[in-house]
Amino acid sequence: MRRAALSQDPHKLREQAEKNLELAIGREVRAFRHQQAMTVAELANRTGLSMGMLSKIENGNTSASLTTLQTLANALSVPLTAFFRRYEENREAVHVKSGEAVEIERAGTRAGHQYNLLGHLGSNASGVMMEPYLITLTTASDIFPTFQHEGIEILYMLEGEVLYRHGESRHHLRPGDSLMFDADAPHGPDELIALPARFLSIICYLQ
């Protein structure tokens, strides 16, 4: 009970929020400095701030005044608000419990091919989208290496054995094997050797 009460202490929550803000500002300052291929010494020379102070700011170890932040913004040629752009962004997490993954039909789905989507996030700050699937193949019918889509895909074999085609190559996948490839080339299970076959498929692409 005492632990729960401490976690809701307004003073503690305010301190944590301030620390998060300091860390967020520090990350942005460092990112803008790196974008301009500028060393800490060069930024110190432009701003009149000491290298030690700049290190504390970039590491989120001090709370910089608005005057200091404006000086940094001028030196880095960015608006002051750029240092706060990611502080209040929503950071999502998706927890899918065992047996609750959504079964879907993807383009090209055939008999004996089951796709379970393990989670999905909407637009996010990284600009990268990810689609994780658990794929189960249970029959030897409808084998076709015809999937093509944007992005990078990685497979991780959990059970069974398949020959998986990517372009002109064929890869014998067994439990524990992985295969990462450019998904723009034709790809898919070409021969089912041991059934059932189960593998993770994770597709990553830009929004």
- Domains belonging to the chain, first-starting first, are 2-84 (1.10.260.40), 102-206 (2.60.120.10)
State the pLDDT at residue 45: 94
Collect all residues with Cβ–Cβ distance below 8 Å to 32 and sequence separation of at least 6: 76, 78, 82
- Would you give the DSSP letter of residue 54? H
State the pLDDT at residue 76: 92
Among residues 118, 119, 87, 112, the alpha carbon closest in space to that of 21 is found at 87
- d(Cα 142, Cα 108) in Å, to the nearest integer? 10
State the pLDDT at residue 147: 83
Predicted confidence pLDDT, tens digits, the chain (207 residues): 344 443 456 666 667 767 788 888 888 899 999 999 999 999 999 999 999 999 999 998 888 888 999 999 999 999 888 888 766 555 667 667 777 777 766 554 555 678 888 877 665 656 678 889 999 988 765 566 578 888 999 999 999 999 999 999 999 999 999 999 999 999 999 889 999 999 999 999 887
Neighbours of 94 (CB within 10 A): 9
* Dihedral (Cα; 90, 91, 96, 97), 10-degree rounding: -110
State the pLDDT at residue 34: 92
The alpha carbon of 33 is separated from its chain's Cα centroid by a whole number of angstroms, namely: 23
Neighbours of 85 (CB within 10 A): 13
